[in-house]
Structure 1
């Protein structure tokens, strides 16, 4: 079996924000690898650090109030944490692209959609104006926009939410990036458009061998698209596993709670389960496991000492004391 190529490696990434209420540790010693052509899903509740970790990768965290306080992000042997703004400008949109949550606020409202796509081609590929616009129209057609020659000359407000999201995807993929970060790209879209966007990302992943980091709180979307899943809670990874294994047999109590909270469309559907309690205040530092106040299996050990990441198999890890005595520590 040939060696799988690692395209991105994050080691002990820490990101914090200074607020009037105190310091928020948004990402706390985050570590994972992304392989070439892999579709990696990152899931968790709002505030778990999903988006912040990817913004840190792109050096897009506003400073102040945010700051990367530790860790390394290796892309092709280069540590992006130490990269200069000039170096990052060559990488952003060219080798690593990002689809943001809300296209209406991410697209420039006073520039025509085709021109916004063409701009990245002129910047990164050195194309002239005419060639860049021709390629922008081709990309709009590739992402399923009808009459791209006409739509390229329309402004964002003239398009529906689904069409604007397709423009964002066309812009992100125009330079054929090595890594595509999709930050909740199907939020606020109806289910038909959601399915089309997911099919589009899957097709582009296969045709271009682009690695995908898919950030979402929707586990249903992850089960459809991703090869590997990372579950985050309060800035930590609490579980990482191949998608099929995670959905068949979740290990961490938080993952179990998330899966049990998904509504089931069956004749004799059980009552909807919830996870007891609330996500802790971001400025609050909890002793021990941060999930222990909500966990039905919490013990005194959980409340006193933070659990390490436990290696259950070559591809499965979990941060929970339930497994510490049974398996070796990572």
Structure 2
């Protein structure tokens, strides 16, 4: 994919949460760029900072206990960290939309689905009530909801999980956003509906040129949908690469561990590989590389100093002392 102009630049973003046990550094000096029309996947275990980084982008970090403590979120060059709530209300759901993980908690249970989509159109595009409802029905049809004229007048509890997720997608795309953030949008769905939702996001990306940030722990989904992959661990990016290169030749030990843990269909019954140990306690600040307690290749240097992000000759990024040393020797 040829790189177009950046639409979003995350620079040195830090997000902290104050808890009774201490400070949690949920996102720690995060840097990445999203280009127009790009499909970017962000993967990692629970607690790696994937969702928090996207909530920060939307200025939806609950404060207290959380807050952005540093960095910039540049959307077309404008720093959203410094944007007022009034400015963010114009951007949220209009220019940057988000599909949340669990539609039942994201949709209002006492408002009909069509009306919830129409409200966004009335707010951001100034449509009249009747016109907005007609457009909402069209959007429900576009996302594959059968009998949208009838379904528009149903409440969320009257729909299946897959249908509710489609309503969320219709709402997120109603104003034709420039960026769509999809936070684990297929987790609670069966594989057939999951495939339909992925096809839908892909089609909308191609037809509208919408840039997509796809947050998931499922590497299989990433391989199907994304152009570029970011792997996160304890609030850091540990590897960033084009999807094909990452799957064919993962560089970071954590990425290799994630890929080796994917079940494979073979005649032999091979036990699943696992990554030894546990994700560190969020309140714990590990000296050196945060993955070193679980890494089979960790050295004394890994345990003493945090590795820098190293750019390899092919342009991919890895945060590991092995590659930092190779770069210095080259």
TM-score (norm 2): 0.98
Q: Which residue is equivalent to 1:209?
A: 209
Q: How does 1:131-210 map to 2 (within 5 A)?
A: 131-210=131-210
Q: Which residue is equivalent to 2:34?
A: 34
Distance 1:6 1:209 in 2: 13
More displaced, 318-327 or 61-70?
Answer: 318-327
Determine if contact 2:39/2:228 at 8 Å carries over to the other structure. yes
Determine if contact 1:310/1:318 at 8 Å carries over to the other structure. yes
TM-superposed deviation, 1:2: 7.5
Which SS does the other structure have where 1:289 is aligned?
A: coil
Distance 2:278 2:194 in 1: 29
Which SS does the other structure have where 2:221 is aligned?
A: helix
Distance 1:104 1:40 in 2: 26
Q: Deviations over 1:266-313 (max 9, x none)?
A: 212532000000000000000000000000000000000000000013
For structure 2, which runs of at least 5 residues remain unmatched after alignment? none
**Residues 16, 265 of structure 1: alpha-carbon distance in 2 compared, 3 angstrom cutoff:** same
**Residues 319, 201 of structure 1: alpha-carbon distance in 2 compared, 3 angstrom cutoff:** same
Moved over 6 A (4+): none
Determine if contact 1:312/1:327 at 8 Å carries over to the other structure. yes
Q: Which residue is equivalent to 1:297?
A: 297
Q: Which residue is equivalent to 1:71?
A: 71
Q: How does 1:218-257 map to 2 (within 5 A)?
A: 218-257=218-257
Q: Which residue is equivalent to 2:62?
A: 62
Distance 1:184 1:325 in 2: 36
Distance 1:140 1:252 in 2: 42
TM-superposed deviation, 1:265: 1.2
TM-superposed deviation, 1:315: 3.3
Determine if contact 1:242/1:315 at 8 Å carries over to the other structure. no
Q: Which residue is equivalent to 2:327?
A: 327
Distance 2:314 2:176 in 1: 31
Q: How does 1:112-127 map to 2 (within 5 A)?
A: 112-127=112-127
Q: Which residue is equivalent to 1:266?
A: 266
Q: Deviations over 1:153-204 (max 9, x none)?
A: 0000000000000000000000000000000000110000000000000000
Distance 2:189 2:175 in 1: 25
**Residues 2, 224 of structure 1: alpha-carbon distance in 2 compared, 3 angstrom cutoff:** closer
Q: Which residue is equivalent to 2:83?
A: 83
For structure 1, which runs of at least 5 residues remain unmatched after alignment? none
Q: How does 1:5-16 map to 2 (within 5 A)?
A: 5-16=5-16
Distance 2:2 2:116 in 1: 40
Q: Which residue is equivalent to 1:50?
A: 50
